[in-house]
Amino acid sequence: MGSLRRGAITRRAFVSSAGVGGLALLSHPAGSALPGVPEEPSASILACVPLAAPGRGMTAARETVAALRRAGAAAAVVPVIETEHLTDAMRALAQWRQMMSEQTELCVPGLEPIDWAPRHRGGRVALIAHSHGVQWLGRDLSLVPEFRALGLRITKLCSGWRSLCADGCFEATDLGLTSWGRDVVRALNHHRLVIDLAYTGRKSSLDAMRVSQHPVVFSHVNAAAVHAHPLNLTDEQIQACAKTGGVIGVSAFPTLLADAGATIDDFVRHVEYITRLVGIDHVALGLDFDTRRTIRFPTDPLPTGPYQYPKGVAGFADLAGLRSTFAKRGFNASARAAIFSGNLERVFRQVWDAA
Amino acid sequence: MVAVDAGLQREAHAMAADLLLVNGLDASDFGDVLLDSLRGGGVAACLVSSSRSGVGLFDELDSPHHAFLNARADRMALATSVADVQRIHREGRVAIIFGLQVADMVEEDVGRLVSLHAMGLRSSGLAYNIGNYIGSGCTELDQGPLSRFGVQFVEALQALRIVVDIGGHCSEATAFDALKHTAGPVVCSHTTARTLRNNPRAMTDGLCRAIADRGGVIGVAAFSYFLLPAGRGTVEDYLRHVDYLAKLVGTEHVGLGLDFILGKNTRGPVTDTASFPPGVYPQSWEEWIYPEGISDFTGLTTVIAGLMKRGYSQEEIARLMGENWLRVWRDIWGA
């Protein structure tokens, strides 16, 4: 039974990444249809689904989870910790577990790949806890396994501003990884947490990819060659990410797609560009449907919102349509499966199951 | 033994009694070993700095430090102004100033500086060897200026009139950037001259001049490994750095920044090699040593004798041994 589940996941899972603080979701499989949930050939895993950002509240979080479930998502990476330090970060994880325990009909914790296996989740969404930074770690590496035990499975090194580990892409500077940052990368590898380098500065991210023994992800950023922006990735970063075996979750956040009036074509263009550069195995859906951002310094290169997501990639209800769009653009079934779930699933398996 | 004749030593001893001896930074355990040494050396004031960097330092400053101060109130007292220092000295007690070598415990909240100031903090470093939210450290491969938060941080220090302690532990790039974002005197509490000893913890002539140009003070550390490439050395090795810096930037801008670690009985290999990498620090705690003649505060008379022997006037020696710190602290603290 167990092996059957695993096989089913591999074939059916599809990954879509949903932007900052993402939530990877796998759409429910054929044969486990729930009322109101469309049948899907394979379920998405989304790399970035902002779910419970500060001030959004539990109602909004619940609505997001319900929308994911309606869209048939299998798993989603959700930013549970934003930039909190130790105590508040632990509280955020506790609240996340509480939220999940209050809506067991909608979601399950995404702790292992088996959690988004169709029979296990039964049409619910596996939520994978993510952190936007490692402020909670301070200078104490012994906290890494503790946070893993609390359910954290993927973390950024830096929230855009310089951290103890890395420089951020909101800074005027572009420094390399600190010596502490190297230790942190090794500790995250050792304790099998996925490293997300979105928002880490260019030089620091390249350093981190050199140090990391595991694949890394950029959960919700795009290609700078398509649209120049401090958050978007240079070809060198994209190639380095592919070399780790990692994945870039393409974001639908309008500021990262185009200068103005971003469309679904822009979104596809970023996917196509990354695919041409490094192949189909390194791109996923980051989406990042977000409602507002924390702006800390006037120089932060992100608008405060509200955001106009492009028609056709504006919400989880668009996932099915997006799949057709990719089909029309020449992505065959296996390419679509790779983008919508397979690639992200591969990285999670590789990192989480590492010996 | 150190080559200073007995007559000169007696003269130095007499002069020391007339001077206000001030140590601009110490890393000793805040306890009786330090207090006894300070009193034995006739020290008027000493800035003590915690080696802890986490938020736990709040508790340390709030209870153990204050508890120890209260327990030894007959011999020492906390000073938060130069007037305090002078009063405490007149009372025959040692004045203690609270400082930080690194501001990691502020994390990303400059608001915490308000609380720290209220707890007595009067001086703060930026980064300690390795990078943090504020700036880059002197041992990092990649060094650069302050972060955006770092700029906010030094501005907050200045608004609170807390001494901005740059150089030495932070990178030169961060130190120069901090100079750009501050006004008035800034200090480097404990370093040595890189021209004499090529070590990342030692400061370049350019940065020393820049601090002096702003009216600041450079405290000279007595840690052997920053004075000479190998061995323990003698007080002469310490004097060589003091003399070099005094000639470079003038006797108004050099002071004591001894950085002793009295009462810290660490043994064996250094484990935190990220903070204390090979090549910059000795890798065995047994090699964290100080020169013969200046391994605790009782050696200060020998330093004075050495300065006399080098031809420094009493007025110059008074500046180097304490007055410069008091001047710059008065400038910054306002009293």
- Contact residues on chain B for A83, CB-CB shorter than 8 A: 108
Bigger pLDDT: A243 or A38?
A243
**Tens digit of each residue's pLDDT (9 = 90 or more) over B196-250:** 999 999 999 999 999 999 999 999 999 999 999 999 999 999 999 999 999 999 9
Determine the pLDDT at residue A41.
Answer: 46
Least confident among A44-48, A130-134, A179-183, B180-184: A44-48
Domains recognised in chain B with CATH numbers: 6-117+188-333 (3.20.20.140)
Q: Token match 């301070």: residue?
A: A138
**Cα separation values, B159 from A322, B162, B182, B216, Å:** 54, 8, 10, 17
When pLDDT is averaged across residues A102-129 and rounded to a whole number, the result is 92
pLDDT greater than 80 at residue B60: no
Q: What is the ipTM of this complex?
A: 0.84
pLDDT score recorded for residue B55 = 62
> From CA A161, how far away is CA A154, in angstroms rounded?
19
In chain B, what percentage of residues exceed pLDDT 70? 96
pLDDT of residue A55: 54
Residue A96: what residue type?
W
Q: How far is B290 from chain A (nearest CA, A)?
A: 28
**Residue A42, pLDDT score:** 61
Does A211 contact B at CB distance below 8 Å? no
Q: What is the mean pLDDT of residues B108-114?
A: 93
Q: What distance in Å separates residue B258's CA from the closest CA in chain A?
A: 27
Q: Give the pLDDT of residue B105.
A: 85
pLDDT tens digit sequence for B132-172 = 999 999 999 999 999 999 999 999 999 999 999 997 899 99
Which chain B residues are within 8 Å of A171, Cβ to Cβ?
Answer: 147-148
Question: Between A260 and A38, whose confidence is greater?
Answer: A260
pLDDT tens per residue across span B188-206: 999 999 999 999 999 999 9
Which positions in chain A touch B130 (Cβ < 8 Å)? 164, 178-180
According to DSSP, the residues that pair with B219 across neighbouring strands are B255
Higher pLDDT: A97 or B163? It is: B163
Whether residue B148 and residue A183 make contact (CB cut-off 8 A), yes or no, is no
Question: Average pLDDT in the A244-269 region?
Answer: 97
Q: What is the pLDDT of residues A282-326, one digit of tens each?
A: 999 999 998 878 789 999 999 988 899 999 999 999 999 999 999
Please give, rounded to a whole number of angstroms, the shortest distance from the CA of A178 to a CA of chain B: 6
Give, in order, the Cα–Cα distances in Å from B157 to each of A179, B286, B333. Answer: 27, 36, 11
Provide mean pLDDT across the span A330-340: 96
For residues A52 and A81, the answer to whether their CB atoms sit within 8 Å is no
Ordered by where they begin, the domains of chain A are 2-8+15-352 (3.20.20.140)
CB contact under 8 A, B131 and A83: no
User: Which tokens belong to B149?
Assistant: 């938060």
pLDDT score of A132: 95
Q: What is the DSSP letter of A184?
A: H
For residue A163, the model assigns a pLDDT of 96
Predicted pLDDT of residue A223: 98
pLDDT at B5: 83
Q: What is the pLDDT of residues B16-25, one digit of tens each?
A: 999 999 999 9
Check: CB of residue A34 under 8 Å from CB of residue A123.
yes
Please name the member of A138, A140, A162 whose beta carbon is closest to the beta carbon of B149: A162
Residue B57 pLDDT level (bands cut at 50, 70, 90): low
Closest CA of chain B from A45, distance in Å:
33
pLDDT in tens, A205-215: 999 999 999 99
Which of these, A120, A116, A187, A115, lies nearest to A155 by C-alpha position? A187
Q: Is the pLDDT confidence value at A18 over 60? A: no
Give the C-alpha separation, B151 to B99, whole Å.
20
Q: Which residues of A touch B180 (CB under 8 A)?
A: none
What is the residue-averaged pLDDT of chain B?
94
- The H or E element that residue B66 is part of is helix B66-71
